[in-house]
Homo-oligomer: A and B are copies of this chain.
């Protein structure tokens, strides 16, 4: 699924999708492309992974969607709801707390020079 450790990526798939959606409405295939680009080709979200997540987000009222059947190629546009935007903010906070916590646990194991020259 990605050149990154899949176990790690697993826990933040919906965070990533939510994040991509924060740019505005997108349809599934677009989300895959954007995520791939935004991650520097590191993340390649498979359809069988993404759609269940999108459906889950929808049933949780975090995203809303609309079919566009105006062209032969039908597209389903997904968009963050107000609750979704709030949820995203919360999830970002959780992620930062997690990163800081793990950073602390790893302690001296992590190279303390993350800033690029």
Interface status of A72 (Cβ within 8 A of chain B):
no
Interface status of A104 (Cβ within 8 A of chain B):
yes
**What are the residues of chain B within 8 A of A24 when measuring CB–CB?**
none
Smallest beta-carbon distance A74→chain B, Å: 28
Binary interface encoding of chain A residues 88-106 relative to chain B, with 1 for a CB under 8 A from any of its CBs, else 0 = 1101101111111110111
Smallest beta-carbon distance A8→chain B, Å: 4
Known: A92-B109, A109-B19. A4 touches B104 (CB 8 A): no
Tell me the A residues contacting B by CB distance below 8 Å: 4-5, 7-12, 15-16, 19-20, 22, 35, 38-40, 42-43, 88-89, 91-92, 94-102, 104-107, 109-111, 114
